[in-house]
Structure 1
Amino acid sequence: MTTLTSESATPRDAAPSRPRDRAVAGYKDLVAMVQETGLMQRRRGFYVVRITTTLLALAGIVAGVVLLDGSWWTLPLAGALALVMTQGAFLGHDGAHRQIWASHRANEWTGRVFACLVAGLSYGWWMGKHNKHHQAPNQKGIDTDIESDVVSFHTEAAESRRGLLAFFTRRQGWFFPPLLLLAGANLHVDSLRTLLGRKAPKRRFVDLGMMAAHWTLYVGFLLTFTSPGLTAAFVGVHLAVFGVSMGGAFAPNHMGMPIVPKGVKANFLNRQVAMSRNISGGFLIDLVMGGLNFQIEHHLFPSMPRPNLRKVQPMVAEFCAEHRITYTETTFFGAYRHIIANLNEVGLAARNPFTCPLRTELGR
C-alpha cells in the first residue's frame, strides 16, 4: 500500500514555486472556469427522468412477483430488485450532495426517502461516514471507509490480525470479490447499529421509521404472494446482489490508492486527486457506478450534478497534466486487478517481521 508522508504535504507558508504549489493557486482558476461553463447548474430534467424510471422499474418488479404467483422463477426478480435499489442508493447519495434540487431541504428529503425507504439504509448514518470520507479520503483515523474488522487496507491493520483472521489477511485479495456477497447485509447492519448507538445522527427516529416501513412492506408483500421459504431465498439473493452492485460501484474509487497517516496535512487539491481513481467506460459504466466512475471530478466538485461529471473531466485531466499532478484512470477490471494485488501485498507485508521500516519507506 502506498503511504503518503509529511513531506507529501504542501507547507502553508511556502511560495507557489513548485508545480504542485502552483496547482493549489491555480485550483481557484479551475473552479472559476468550471463555474463559467455552467456545469455546476442543476440538471432537474435528468433527475426527474432517473427518479421516474427507478420507481417504474420498482413497480415492474412488484407486478412481476404478483404475476408469478409464488413460482421459484420469482428469484431472478430478487437480483433485479437489488440493482434497482442500488440506483435508489445512488439517488440518495446525489441528494446528500445537493446535486438534484436547488433547495437544501428538498435534496435532504429526496436523499432520505431513497436511502431509507427505497434502499433500506439510514440517510443520517450515510451522511456521517461519507462526510468524513470526503473530508480526508484514505486518511487513517478519519476516513472510516478504510477501517474494517475483516479487510486490512494498510499494514498497520494487517499486523494486528491473529489466528484464522491472519491466515485470511495474507490472502485477502483473493477473498475480496466473494466477500462482496456479504457487503449488502453488512451495510444494513452497520446502518441500524449506528442508529441504535449512543452517537446516533440527527433525525434517527425518522430514519428508523422509514427503514421499518421499508422492511415491513418488503417482507409483508413477499409473504403475501410467496411461501416463507421463497421469501427467505428472495431476501438472501437480493442482499447478495445488492452487496456486489454497491461494492462494485464504490470499491474501485479509492481502494489500492495511497493511504495517508494520521496527522499529515495535505492541501485539498492533492488530497482529493491523489487518493481517487477514475474508471473509464461509456453509458453502462455510468449506470452501474452511478456516475462515481468520475471519482476525481466528484471529489473536486461534490455538488456538481452527476451527468455533468463526464463533461468536466477533460478540463480536470488537462489541468492535472499541466501541473504535473498524477491523474489515475483505468478500466473497471483493471481497477479490480490492482485492488486484489494491493490487498494481497498488504496482507503479505504484515507477515514478515524482519522488514526494515526505513527500507520500506525509501522503496516507496
Structure 2
Amino acid sequence: MGKGGNQGGGATEREAPMPTFSWEEIQKHNLRTDKWLVIDRKVYNITKWSSRHPGGQRVIGHYAGEDATDAFRAFHRDLDFVHKFMKPLLIGELAPEEPGQDHGKNSQITEDFRALRKTAEDMNLFKSNHLFFLLLLAHIIAMESIAWFTIFYFGNGWIPTVITAFVLATSQAQAGWLQHDYGHLSVYKKSTWNHFVHKFIIGHLKGASANWWNHRHFQHHAKPNIFHKDPDVNMLHVFVLGEWQPVEDLAWAVSYYARFLLTYSPFYGILGAVLFLNFIRFLESHWFVWVTQMNHIVMEIDCEPYRDWFSSQLAATCNVEQSLFNDWFSGHLNFQIEHHLFPTMPRHNFHKVAPLVKSLCAKHGIKYQEKPLLRALQDIIRSLKKSGQLWLDAYLHK
C-alpha cells in the first residue's frame, strides 16, 4: 500500500505534501490573465477570484508575483474571516530554501515592522473610540444646521451667503475625512457596519460614490506614488464599471442633491441653489486637494522599485506637525506615515504609534519626514512650479 493509504485499524489517510515553488516561478505569474501571490509563505492563485475581490481586482492584482503579506494584514480587519475565502485558492507554498521576501526586499526591516505591528495590537491601538467618531459626525451635522439657520435668519444677502458657503465647505471637508475613516474600516469591528456608514456619509452627506472611492483609494494605498498602479499619479486612468455598483451609489447621491436643493432653493431658486452648491464645491475641493497632496506630491514618484511595505510607505509619504488645528484641519491625515502603515488604525491613535515608527526608522536609517503646515503647503507650490517649468521647457524644445 502507498504512503497515502490507510494503515491498519482505520487510520486516516495522510494529506499529500503541498507543492513548493521558487520566487523565480512565482514572479512569472504576474499577468492580467495569470496571477499568483504569496501570503505568509503560502502561494495563492488569484487569477479567477480577483474579479470578485471586494476591494476590486486591480488592488489585489498589483501584488501579483509578489509577497503580499503586509498589505494583506494592513487592509483586512478580520483576518480569520478573510482566510475562509482563501482556502480554495491555495496551490502551494514557498520552498523551504526560499527567503520570505521577493525581489531581494529587506527581510530585517520586514521582521521589525511586523514586530512593531504586534506591539501596536497589544497596546490596543486598533481599538476604536466610538464617542470620538460620534462627536465628529455631530459637529458636521451642527455645521449643516448653523448654515441653514444663517440663511433663514439673516436672509440671502451676500454676507450671509458667503458665510454659509464657508461653513458648508467646512462641513463637507470634515465629512470627507470622516467617510475616509469608515472607508478604511477603522471604526467598527464588523466590516459590514463600516461599509454602511461609509456609504451614508460619502453618499448622503457628500453626494459621491463609495465604491468609486474604494476602487481608487485602495490602489493608492497598495502602491503609493507608483506609476501605472497608483491612480493618484496616473495622468490617465481607465475606470472599470464592473468594479462598482453605479445604481446603488446613484441612489445615495440623488438623496444628497435632493436634500440640498430642497433646503436652499426656497432662498435662491433652483438655478441659484445649483450655483451656490458649485461655489461650496469649489471651496471644499481646494481644501481637500491641498491637504491630501501636501503629504504625497512632494515625495518620490517613480516606477516600482520593489521595496518592503514599510520602506515603500515611508518613501511615498511625509507628516505635518501635530497640533489641535492641524489634526482637525486635515482629519489627522497630517499623520500620513502612520495612516499608510496602518490603514485600519483609528486616527485618534496615530500619535501613540508615531514614536514607535520613528524609532524603527532611526534603527534602519530611513528618513522620517515631518514638516510645519505652512512649509508643507509651500512645497506643493514649489512642486507645481517645477512641473510647470518642465512642461514649458518641453513646449519650447529647450
TM-score above 0.5, yes or no: yes
- Secondary structure of 2:277's counterpart equals helix
Q: Equivalent of 1:254, from 287, 296, 299?
A: 296
What's 1:241 paired with? 283
- Aligned residue number for residue 19 of structure 2: none
Which of the pair is proportionally richer in helix?
Answer: 1
2:188 to 101, 111, 119: 101
State the SS of the aligned residue for 1:288. Answer: helix
Coordinate RMSD, CA, aligned: 2.7
Q: Which residue of 2 aligns with 1:174?
A: none
Greater Cα radius of gyration, structure 1 or 2: 2
Equivalent residue of 1:140, what SS?
coil
Q: Which residue of 2 aligns with 1:22?
A: 108
- 1:47 is matched with 133
- Specify which structure has the higher proportion of strand: 2
The Cα shift of 1:37 comes to 1.2
**Paired residue for 1:266, among 284, 289, 307?**
307
| Residue of structure 2 equivalent to 1:300 | 341
Provide the C-alpha distance between the structure 2 equivalents of 1:200 and 1:212, rounded to a whole number of angstroms.
Answer: 21
Provide the rounded CA distance (Å) in 2 between the counterparts of 1:107 and 1:199: 23
Q: Describe the superposition over 1:146-166 as per-residue Cα deviations: whole angstroms up to 9, x where unpaired.
A: 1237xxxxxxxxxxxxxxxxx
Amino acid at match of 1:208: L
Cross-structure match for 1:345 = 386
Instruction: Report the number of matched residues.
Output: 297
Deviation at 1:203, TM superposition (A): 3.0
Asked if 1:208 corresponds to 2:250, the answer is: yes
1:135 aligns with 2:219: no
Q: Residue 326 of structure 1 aligns with which residue?
A: 367
Query: What secondary structure sits across from 1:61 in the alignment?
Result: helix
Write the distance in 1 (CA, Å) between the matches of 2:293 and 2:216.
15
SS at match of 1:145: coil
Q: Report deviation, 1:101.
A: 1.2
Query: Of 192, 202, 221, which residue of structure 1 is paired with 2:263?
Result: 221
Identity %: 23
2:75 aligned with 1:33? no
Code of the residue aligned with 1:144 in structure 2: it is P
Higher RCO structure (Cα 8 Å, ≥6 apart)? 1
Q: Partners of 1:20 and 1:266 in 2: how far apart? A: 8
Q: Which amino acid aligns with 2:383?
A: N
Q: In 1, are the aligned partners of 2:220 and 2:231 still within 8 Å (CA)?
A: yes
Match status 1:86 vs 2:173: yes
Q: CA deviation at 1:13?
A: 4.4
Report whether the alignment pairs 1:312 with 2:353: yes
Q: Distance in 1 between matches of 2:105 and 2:282?
A: 46
**In structure 1, C-alpha distance between the alignment counterparts of 2:393 and 2:272, rounded to whole Å:** 48
Provide the secondary structure at the position in 2 that maps to 1:24. helix
Q: Deviations over 1:317-340 (max 9, x none)?
A: 111111111111111221122222
Calculate the TM-score normalised by the size of structure 1.
0.75
Contact 1:278 1:295 in 2 (8 A): yes
* Deviation, structure 1 residue 248: 2.1
Pick the aligned partner of 1:275 from 316, 319, 336.
Answer: 316
Letter in 2 for 1:65: I
- CA deviation string 1:265-320 (max 9, x = no partner): 22111111111010013011111100111000001111100110112111111111
8 Å contact kept, 1:20–1:323: no
Q: 1:75 aligns with which of 141, 156, 162?
A: 162
Quick one: distance in 1 between partners of 2:156 and 2:214?
38
Whichever residue aligns with residue 226 of structure 1, its letter is: Y
Structure 1's 217 and 334: CA in aligned 2 closer, same or farther, altered over 3 A?
A: same
Match of 1:161 in 2: none
Alpha-carbon distance, 1:234 to partner: 2.1
Q: 1:225 Cα deviation (Å)?
A: 2.3
Give the Å deviation of 1:199.
Answer: 1.6
User: Which structure 1 segments of 5+ residues have no match?
Assistant: 1-8, 150-189, 354-364
Answer with 320-329 or 213-222: which moved more. 213-222
